[in-house]
Amino acid sequence: MSLTKSERSEHNLHTLEFSVDAATFNAAISRAYKKQVGKINVPGFRKGKAPRSIIEKMYGKGFFYEDAINDVLPEAYESALKESGIDPVSRPEFDIVSIDDNGVVMSAKVYVKPEVSIEGYEGIAVERTVLTATDAEVDEEIETVRNRNSREIEITDRAAENGDLVNIDYEGFCDGVAFDGGKADGQPLKLGSGQFIPGFEEQIVGKNIGDEFDVNVTFPTEYHAAELAGKVAIFKVKLNGINNVELPELDDEFAKDVSEFDTLDEYKADLKAKIQKRHDTKAENEVKDSVANALMDKLVADIPEAMYETETENFVRDYDTRLRMSGLDLNMYLQYTGMDLDALRKQMRPQAERQVKTRLALEKIAELEKIEVTDEELEAEVARIAEDNKITKEQVEEFVGLEAVRGDMKVQKALDLVVSKAVVTDKAPEAEVAEEKPAKKAPAKKTTAKKTTKKAEAETEKPADAE
């Protein structure tokens, strides 16, 4: 097996031509004959006993060629790839150039990584939003923890109050006719949460367990169900039960129960430090994103469409994996959202293009800066990947590949280098400068009298976040 031609045409389409010698190809024909002879009926011979020469005389000399070519092609192609030194980014399209007594000559057309150039990647000017952890943020996190550790107490000796968790049956009517989605039994509702139509929850306040009453409301003009928007409705409601949510006292005992700290002050200090770390990480990521955007603008390359298509498919597969971890899958998601696979690909395409361009830019920078990864660094990274994914280092080598891990590490080092040389200007959060700009009108809140369905939960998944 040998490479006979290797040439690149426009748009980074590369053609390889490679040959398989007569002896190797003839051996493959013999294997194909032995594999198929038992299935061939030849007059005058028992099934499976007809000589190869007789079969070729009856059906043609090339009768076993297809199986023989499929036999030798993988190894021949891999050998040609290695000899050519090219880096393919698409599946090859094969063709037969010639078959004769000297063997077979085949060709493969495949897209390869483009030649890349990039300049001006040092001293990129970027902005970074500086956030400082506040006591209000700490208090908000503590309230979340308090609510997680709350308990419900059944109320039987008073009427419903704002903040209570009530259980109700209801049915809605417009013009005396019940409408779809307007009925539920045993519906839990926290009064004052704003979960239901404006005016609905307020009319439950003051009612007692067992009361049956009407709730009169008007649907918002921008209500998501167009057939109900702006209409007056009457809900027949029955109050089944009242519970009050009791939060734990905010003291040292609370801190001991929910953390490793002995005092509330220590717990708050730890929360504040963690919030600050999140802010700092977000700011770092903001710089990295800005740098990546700048690198894309500086990149000069004729990128094959196949690279974008392959990366888009990678995004789709990764998103399917994440959905499966949450109990869904891609088919269920598409059904729930009414989207088809092509629409999902279209939605993911911009991020895939960004990924391809950024990667090419950073790989070139790694080359220009002669960035290397030591064996010790590679071993440590493989161990980290194995630990994070609960697999062995051997499995990382098998499923990912050491050179792929090394390549990712070079790219990360290149990004760190460019970020370290960027000119970063700190800016205040938009909230602090908002008063300089006219306030935007808040969008109308969509409310419903129906329970959240699994379809609605699926719709909250955003594939554009898939990376």
DSSP state letter for 73: H
Amino acid, res. 434? A
For every residue of 443-464, DSSP letters joined together read PPPP--SSPPPHHHHHHT--GG
> Among all chains, which residue has been given the structure tokens 């040609």?
80
Structure tokens at 261: 């700290």
Cβ pair 244, 155 in contact under 8 A:
yes
What is the model's pLDDT at position 431?
56
Secondary structure element (H or E) that encloses residue 431, with its range: helix 430-433
Q: Is residue 125 part of a domain?
A: no
Which pLDDT score, from 0 to 100, does residue 463 have?
43
Regarding whether 401 and 315 lie in a shared domain, the answer is yes
Which residue, 265, 200, 276, 210, is CA-closest to 232? 200
pLDDT at 75 (0 to 100): 94
- For residues 406 and 267, membership in a common domain is answered with yes
Residues 165 and 196 in one domain: yes
- Domain holding 319, by residue range, is 262-465
Q: HSE (CB half, 13 Å, CA atoms) of 310?
A: 13
Phi, psi of 248 (to 5 degrees): -65, 150
Strands 13-21 and 212-218: unpaired
413 and 285 in a single domain? The answer is yes
pLDDT score at 100: 87
207 & 317 share domain: no
Are 80 and 179 found together in one domain? no
pLDDT at 448: 44
Q: At a CB cut-off of 8 Å and minimum separation 6, what does 30 contact?
A: 52
Q: What does the alpha-carbon distance between residue 41 and residue 375 come to, in Å, rounded to a whole number?
A: 59
pLDDT at site 158: 94
Any domain includes 38: yes
Alpha helices in 95-235 (DSSP H): 135-148
The structure tokens listed for 28 are: 């493959």
Say if CB 282 and CB 131 are below 8 A apart.
yes
CATH at residue 285: 1.10.3120
Find the CATH number of the domain harbouring 56. Answer: 3.30.70.1050
User: Residue 342 CA to chain centroid, in angstroms?
Assistant: 16
Is 252 a member of any domain? no
Separation between Cα atoms, residue 21 and residue 76, nearest integer Å: 11
| Same domain flag for 178 and 108 | no
Q: Which residues of the chain have pLDDT under 50?
A: 433-467
Integer angstrom CA distances of residue 370 from 37, 168, 365, 381, 422: 57, 69, 8, 20, 19
Task: Please count the structural domains in the chain.
Answer: 3
Instruction: Assess if residue 214 is contained within a domain.
Output: yes
Q: Are residues 215 and 288 in the same domain?
A: no
DSSP summary character for residue 232: E
- Same domain? For 42 and 183 the reply is no
The pLDDT, as a whole number, for residue 454 is 39
My answer on whether 290 and 170 are in the same domain is no
Q: Both 239 and 283 in a single domain?
A: no
At 310 the three-state DSSP class reads helix
User: Strand, coil or helix: what is 290?
Assistant: helix
* DSSP reduced 3-state for 209: coil
pLDDT of the residue at 441: 34
Tokens of 338: 């009414």
Does residue 131 sit within a domain?
no
Q: What is the DSSP letter of 389?
A: T
pLDDT at 457: 43
Residue 456: predicted pLDDT: 40
At residue 245, the pLDDT reads 86
Using CB atoms within 10 Å of the CB of residue 244, give its burial: 0 to 12 exposed, 13 to 18 middle, 19+ buried. Answer: middle
Choose the final residue of a domain: 246, 275, 297: 246
Q: Are residues 305 and 197 in the same domain?
A: no
